[in-house]
Amino acid sequence: MSVSESGTHNADAISPGAERDPATGHPRPPRREFKARGSFVTRCEGCNLPELNCLCPYRVTAQSHAQVWLLTHPLEHFKPTNTGRLIGDVLAQTQVFTWYRTAPDAQLMALLEDPRYAPFVIFPDDQPDYADRVVSMEAVSDAKRSAKIPVYILLDGTWRQARRIFRKSPYLDALPVLPLRTQRETRYRLRKPASSAHLCTAEVAVELLRQGGDETAAAVLDDYFEVFNDSYAASRFYHRIDDPTPAMQRLLGRQASGHG
Ligand SMILES: [Zn+2]
């Protein structure tokens, strides 16, 4: 469909404030396709957050022994409230793969065969049929002792999507399943969790890193997640955060001291 066609097509439905082409009088199509709530907010090109409270000044990288690989549901990828992407901002070695039921990612397949890595699928141990694959953090320590790089494979999506990824990905069936055991309650404010025990993806990574001995990386990611969470939530109410929060101050301090 050409621009002029789309412009005349919905002429009756156009909102009163919409632009019109001065030459033809036809309504102009919207500049950006409407996708979700918040689409008309001006977003920073660096962090994709509303510009009002941009995340970019707080970006700090960290080193970790373990790696995080994300297997992200296609519907999750472009949601600005996705927290999986925060992990890659902090930990440069993070890998992100899009999950498709019928077409496993070739690079992921190759990495799963790579003997340098000890991959663990992070998933609850609430079903009996894979009980024989369930391991504890002790297995992460064992992997480190045998000079392997522990890898936390996070299934990034809603709980329903994560369960589908877990059940419909035969290449994950041979891997050990590591359930996250934590008392932490979610602090994620951008989506309503079914339960306070349901952590978002970045929070899961924080707790795994912490329990696996990557305390600094965990602390940086936790602060970065908190700044994301607070900044995004404030922008929804058109509130600018003028005084840096404690997490913001800690990240700025790490940048200033060259740790990161
Ligand atoms: Zn930004």
* Residue-wise pLDDT tens digits, 185-232: 999 999 888 889 899 999 999 999 999 999 999 999 999 999 999 999
Centre of ligand 1 from the C-alpha of residue 217, in Å: 21
Distance (angstroms) between ligand 1 centre and the Cα of 59 equals 9
3-state SS track over 152-203? EEEEECCHHHHHHHHHCCHHHCCCCEECCCCCCCCCCCCCCCCCCCCCCHHH
Q: What is the mean pLDDT of the chain?
A: 87
Q: Residue 31 corresponds to which amino acid?
A: R
The two three-digit tokens of residue 260, written as one number: 């990161």
| Ligand 1 center–CA 51 separation, angstroms | 7
Residue 135 CA to ligand 1 centre (angstroms):
39
CA of 124 to the centre of ligand 1 (A): 34
- Measured in angstroms, how far is the CA atom of residue 16 from the centroid of ligand 1? 32
Distance 170 CA to ligand 1 centre (A): 38
Per-residue model confidence (pLDDT) at position 33: 44
Ligand 1 centroid – CA 243 distance (Å): 17
What's the confidence (pLDDT) of residue 195?
87
pTM: predicted TM-score of the whole model, two decimal places: 0.83
* CA 159–ligand 1 middle distance (angstroms): 28
Q: What is the pLDDT of residues 38-64, one digit of tens each?
A: 556 899 999 999 999 999 999 999 999
Question: What is the percentage of the chain residues whose pLDDT exceeds 70?
Answer: 84
Residue pair 120/178 in contact (Cβ under 8 Å)? The answer is: yes
Instruction: Kindly give the parts of the chain with pLDDT less than 70.
Output: 1-40, 259-260
Q: Which residues contact 65 (CB under 8 A, 6 or more apart)?
A: 144, 149, 150, 212, 213, 214
Measured in angstroms, how far is the CA atom of residue 134 from the centroid of ligand 1? 39
